[in-house]
Amino acid sequence: MIFKIASNIIIFIILLFGICNISIAQDKNEKIQSISLGLSIYDEIDKKSIIEVKEKMLKNIIGYYKLNANIIILDNYRQLIDNIDNQAEVFVKKLIKNNKLDYLIYIRNRRNLDLWFDVWNKRGQIENIIIPYSSELVKFLPDIATNSFLSIIESMDNKLYNNKQY
Amino acid sequence: MKNLFILFIITCLSLTSCTYNPINTKIVKGSFYDNIDKKTFLSRASHSFNLKENDFIVAATIFKVPQIVQCKIPLSGVDRILYIKIMENQLLNIDRHLIFGQEYLFDENEQELKILIDLPVIYLFKGTIKFHIDILALNSKGKYLKTIKKTIAFNWQPLENNSSNGFSYTKLSNSNIKEKRAIKKIVKEEIQNCDTDRLNKEYKKEIEVFIKQRQNRIRRNDYY
C-alpha cells in the first residue's frame, strides 16, 4: 500500500515538472504577438496631438510589423515630470503592471525649452530622446513622437525590426 | 496524511521555482544616439550608392534581388534627424516611419545620412519601383527645421551567369527572369511575410497568378 502511494506521488511529481518545463519552453519560444502601450503627456502638450500620436503609432506597428498593438491613453502623471528617480521607477512599474502594459510612453514639454520623448519598459528601464523646443515643431509633433517612440522601443528590446512585414 | 503534506510542499516549491522571475530594477539612463550598433547597421547592406545633396529624383539600377541597399545622402548644416518617412503609393501602398538605428543613421561628422532600403523581389515585380522619402531635420543651431524630400527609383536589371567561372553575364528582361524556379521560391516566401491587403489589387493578382503558375513552365537555370 505504502509502495503504491509512493509510486503515485513520484509519478505525480514527474508529471508536474513536465508540465512546468513545457510551459517554460513555450514562453521561451513564443513569438511576440502583441505590444501594449500606455501613452501619457504633460499638460502643455496639445490634447489633439496625443490622439494623432496614438493613431500613427497603431498604423505603423500593426500595418508594417507582425504584431498586434493596443494603446491606452493614461492620465497626466506629475510624478514623472521632474526627476527620474527610484520613486518614479516604483510608480512606473506599478502603472505598467496595473494596466498590463509592455511600455509606458510619455511626452514632456519642459517649459518650452525642450521636448522629451520617454519610453519606460517593464524592467524599469528608461530611454529618451530630447529635442530643443521651437514653435515650428508643434505641427510635426505626432510624426516626431511616432518616430522617436518606435526607434526607442526597437533599441530597447528589438521587438519591431525582427517582426517586419514587407 | 503525511504523504499528502509532503506532496503539497513539493507542489508549492515546484510552482514557485517555475514562476519566479526577478525584475531588473536598475534605471538605465543612456545617450540614445550613442547606443546604436553602427557596424551591424552598415554590414546589412550589400550595395550602396550616393545621392547628391541637391538631387530631388535619382534612379538606381539593381542587378540582384532580394537585397538591402544603402543610400548615402549628404546633408550639410544638419544637427539631428527628427523623422524619416518612406512612401510608395502605386503598387505597395507603403507609408511608414523608418526606425533609427535599424533603417537609418545620421553621421554628424561626415554630415551624411545613411538609409537602408529593403528590396525584396515582390517590390520589383514590375521591374521598377519608386519610393518617396520625407525627412525632417533640425539644423545645426538646433532651432530651425529643414524638410527634405527625395524620390528614389530602383530599376531591376537581372543578369544571368553564362559561364562556369562566373564572369560572363547576359542581361535578362524582367519577364524572362520570372521563368526561373529560384525566383518563384523566393516570391512564395516573401508573400507569406507580406501584408497583401495593402498591395494594389492588380499587382497582387499578378503575383498570385505567378505563384500558381505550373512548375513545368519554369526552367531550372540559376539567376544572378
Q: What is the 3-state secondary structure (H, E, C) of B38-58?
A: HHHHHHCCCEEEECCCCCCEE
| Band of pLDDT at residue B220, cut at 50, 70 and 90 | very low
Average pLDDT over residues B140-144: 73
Q: Is this prediction's ipTM beyond 0.90?
A: no
CA distance B16 to chain A (A): 10
Q: How far apart are CA A137 and CA B144, in angstroms?
A: 9
**What does the pLDDT read at residue B118?**
95
Average pLDDT over residues B37-42: 88
Is A157's pLDDT higher than 50? yes
More confident residue, A31 or B166: B166
**What does the pLDDT read at residue A136?**
87
More confident residue, B53 or A4: B53
Task: Name the closest residue on chain A to residue B82, using Cα atoms.
Answer: A144
Is B126's pLDDT higher than 60? yes
Average pLDDT over residues A94-119: 89
Residues of B in contact with A86 (CB under 8 A): 27
For chain A, what is the radius of gyration of the CA atoms? 21
Q: Which position has the grid cell 511575410?
A: B193
| Band of pLDDT at residue B3, cut at 50, 70 and 90 | low
C-alpha B16 chain-centroid distance: 43
User: CB-CB: which of A126, A137, A154 is closest to B27?
Assistant: A126
Q: How far apart are CA A107 and CA A145, in angstroms?
A: 8
Judged by a CB distance cut-off of 8 A, whether residue A163 touches chain B is no
CA distance A61 to chain B (A): 9
More confident residue, B39 or B21: B39
Q: How far apart are CA B106 and CA B113, in angstroms?
A: 4
**What does the pLDDT read at residue B43?**
92
Helix (H, G, I), strand (E, B) or coil at B5: helix
Q: pTM of the prediction?
A: 0.79
Q: How far apart are CA B163 and CA A94, in angstroms?
A: 66
Does the distance separating the beta carbons of B27 and A84 come in below 8 Å?
yes
Closest by alpha carbon to B223, among B169, B175, B160, B165?
Answer: B160
**Per-residue pLDDT tens digits for A3-58:** 677 767 776 666 555 554 444 333 433 445 789 999 988 767 778 888 999 999 99
